[in-house]
Amino acid sequence: MKRLVPLVLCFIFGIVMIITQFSPHPYSKRVYEEVVSGALIISPFALVLATITLIQTHATRIRRRADHWPYSYIVFAGLITMVIIGVPLGPKDPVFEWLYNNVQVPMDATMFSLLAFFIASAAYRAFRARTTEATLLLVTALIVMLGNVPVGDLIWNTIMSWTPWADQASAAREWVLDNPNLSARRGIILGVSLGVISQSVRIILGIERSYLGGGD
Amino acid sequence: MEVFGIWVAAFLTLCIYSFLYRDNPLYRFAEHLFVGISVGYGIVLSIHEGFIPLAWNPIWASLTGESLAGLWKLIPIAFGLLFFARLSPRHTWLIRYPIAILIGFGAGIAIPNMLRANIFEQTRGTVAPFGAIYAGTLTPWEIFGAILMVVGVVCTLTYFYFSVEHRGPVKWLSKIGICFLMIGFGSAFGNTVMGRVTLLIQRVDFLLIDWLGSIGALF
Amino acid sequence: MLTKLVSMDRRIVFILVALAVIVPMLLHVSLPVSTSEPTQKLYDFVEALPAGSTIMLAFDYGPSSFPELSPMAKALLKQCFDKDIGVIAITLVVDGTTLASTLLEEVAEEKDAVNGEDFVFLGFRPGATQVILGMGTEIKSVFETDYYGKKLDEIPMMKNITNYDQIDILVDLASSNTTEAWIIYANVQYNLKIAAGVTGVMVSQMFPYLQTGQLKGLMSGILGAAEYEDLVGVPGKGKQYINVNSFVHLLIVLLVVIGNIAYFIQREREE
């Protein structure tokens, strides 16, 4: 009941999705549509899992007086404020939109913009041409960075003015992205996809069961 | 209200930037508020844009006799409700049912589509230029690019192939594969710099133009 | 001196980065931008569509990447509204919903576009794969109403649109792997043509799909946004930000070069 039923469900839904995609029969199409629609209905409930985990984590922090535990109250304050306003009034409510636009958006954007400072600092302190591989990485990064911005064209043209490759900063960037980068990325795509496909087969056949978690 | 919003956003922006000096209570306040607000927003949207239109409305329509098709949807809804079993330690195992359905669905749908999109199409893309070489429509530089692409793909795949020991020719192919990967990562780094710097520019634009501009407007 | 240079406090680097943003922003520097082939391809594709065509625009990004992707969305929307191309907008990313609706309303107001006639915003549904597959069968099976609660049957623009068969191209503005999901499910399963505008972080991984034609065009980060603004003739934040970007990039290149010179001199001395 605890392990067999989920394994059977997983097998049935996996096989049904594979077969119905290849069969043009109207019944098969109907089954395909119903399964897609059913999976669509289950999706929003998955949020329950994430929310409960977050609430439990912060409740435990408060209970155990863990490091910086008072801040967990701020998590709850933010969450409850959004839910109290948003659930009854809807996401188009002006107050809800105001909170999103003036609290969530600036904090989210700023949080990620911090990385610009750390990238610059890391590039200065750790980006060294120590080996052939590191040199390739560094040179490529510099070519792409210069090709990405208009000032790169100016610099490239000044340095390369005596060569046939003047006016080619953006072209050099595009060539790198379109040739050696493309090969590496394609290798990764092929490798990852083969991995996903084989893992999917193992999941459907019940060989891979880690998604069931521990316990009996 | 608009100016007040700008000031709130500016205060929170500066709270987060204070981390550049060192970790401090203002940063921690903003960080935790951000988590709470984001999850709250996600809950509201999932209810109004997910649960209500996909689950509640069809059931309501069938209860009011508008459309009996909604009753059929009680089955996936029942499976979805099993996610709440996470609240009871004794019944947590029940969440395996909806998870198994979603995982089985995802695996089943991925196999044929990923094969076509990422294996067949990408392999076709790798060998397709050789048709053009045969037809004589490529320049010498483009021919060089086509050969380089095949070499790069084969060597990168060799690097990820662990079923044979990397010795002799395999070792060399894998070493060339590493070089291609380094070029790939270098270009990813270059593009990431552009992305992250743009986020910073937008925040500075906001602080300089919108926030400082609002101070000017006050006087 | 050399040791001091190598072990410079990171906060000095932070100040230099901040100055490299603030100074050019105040000076309003403007440099010409050349158009890359992937951006040109997308522009040409949309430009070649006759009036009355329909594109689907997926706002698959949240606040953490809107500075890169919103300028693309604005330029593309302006091109569509000018050419009388209908736009069906959706999002697969939960925290992009309000962002998308605000942006659409803003551009629509500027271009006098009418909701329901020139564009429709369907909103968000959880479960990206299921949403993509579901709309392939029937858009109404996933979105019975638009974001504002109006039934799709009552929206004039949606009268002749059932599924992807009536959509000329989908442009995915993405900050995560949604573009791959659109390619794997909508393109393979339903032959929907796909193009994308992606964040800088994702640009490199899109090139294999461009070469195979699985992507009809690509806007690469803020550079792609600036290029598209130039092509459409509506300079905006994309153009402004790529110019400021120039100086920060220059600073980072200089920092890398100085760091390496110092490193090699130090290593020479130690040997």
- pLDDT surpassing 70 at residue C49: yes
Angle, in degrees to the nearest 10, between helices A180-204 and C200-212: 90
Identify all chain A residues contacting B76, using CB atoms and an 8 Å cutoff.
37-39, 41-42
Identify all chain A residues contacting B107, using CB atoms and an 8 Å cutoff.
10, 14, 17, 199-201, 203-204
What is the pLDDT at residue A216? Answer: 62
Is A116 within a domain? no
Inspect the interface and report whether the beta carbons of C144 and B57 lie closer than 8 Å: yes
Q: Which of C133, C214, C252 sits opposite B193 (nearest CB)?
A: C252
Residue-range definition of the domain harbouring residue A46: 1-89
pLDDT tens-digit series, residues B163-187: 888 888 999 999 999 999 999 999 9
Is A216 within a domain? no
Identify all chain A residues contacting B182, using CB atoms and an 8 Å cutoff.
133-134, 136-137, 140
Low-confidence ranges of chain A (pLDDT < 70): 167, 215-216
Instruction: Count the domains in chain A.
Output: 1
Whole-angstrom distance, CA of residue A88 vs CA of residue A77: 17
Domain C37-235 has CATH 3.40.50.720: yes
Identify all chain C residues contacting B42, using CB atoms and an 8 Å cutoff.
94-95
For residue B178, give how far its alpha carbon lies from the nearest alpha carbon of chain A (Å): 7
Whole-angstrom distance, CA of residue B90 vs CA of residue A100: 38
pLDDT tens-digit series, residues C128-158: 999 999 999 999 999 999 999 999 999 999 9
What is the pLDDT at residue A215? Answer: 65
Is A192 within a domain? no
As a residue count, chain B comes to 219
Q: Which long-range contacts (CB under 8 A, 24 or more apart) does C230-236 make?
A: C230/C33, C230/C35, C231/C35, C231/C39, C231/C40, C231/C43, C231/C75, C232/C43, C232/C75, C232/C76, C232/C78, C232/C79, C232/C82, C234/C74, C234/C75, C234/C78, C236/C71, C236/C74, C236/C75
Please tell me which residue of chain A has the smallest CA distance to B5. Answer: A102
Domain spans, chain C = 2-28+247-270, 37-235
Inspect the interface and report whether the beta carbons of C98 and A101 lie closer than 8 Å: yes
Residue C108 per-residue DSSP state: H
Please tell me which residue of chain C has the smallest CA distance to A36. Answer: C130
B67 contacts chain C (CB < 8 A):
no
Query: If you average pLDDT over residues B27-32, what whole number do you get?
Result: 96
Angle, in degrees to the nearest 10, between helices B121-135 and B140-159: 150
What is the pLDDT at residue A23? Answer: 83
Is A84 within a domain? yes
In angstroms, how far is CA C95 from the centroid of its own chain?
16
Whole-angstrom distance, CA of residue C237 vs CA of residue C249: 18
Helices (H) and strands (E) in chain A, counts: 10, 0
In chain C, pLDDT over 70 holds for what percent of residues? 99
ipTM: 0.93
Among residues 121-180 of chain B, which lie with CB inside 8 Å of chain C? Answer: 121-122, 124-125, 128
Query: If you average pLDDT over residues B127-135, what whole number do you get?
Result: 89
Is A32 within a domain? yes
Question: Hey, what are B85's tokens?
Answer: 């079993």
Element (H, E) at C41: helix C37-48
Whole-angstrom distance, CA of residue C247 vs CA of residue C232: 25
Whole-angstrom distance, CA of residue B58 vs CA of residue A112: 40
Identify all chain A residues contacting B143, using CB atoms and an 8 Å cutoff.
none
The helix/strand/coil state of C28 is coil
C54-60 sheet: strands from edge to edge = C119-124, C86-91, C54-60, C169-174, C194-198, C218-220
pLDDT tens-digit series, residues A133-185: 999 999 999 999 999 999 888 887 787 777 777 767 778 889 999 999 999 99
Please tell me which residue of chain A has the smallest CA distance to C258. Answer: A124
Task: For CA atoms A191, C92, A19, A202, give the dihedral sign.
Answer: positive
Asked if residue B193 lies in contact with residue B166, where contact means CB atoms within 8 angstroms, the answer is no
Average pLDDT across chain B, whole number: 91
For residue A10, give how far its alpha carbon lies from the nearest alpha carbon of chain C (Å): 16
What is the pLDDT at residue C28? Answer: 85
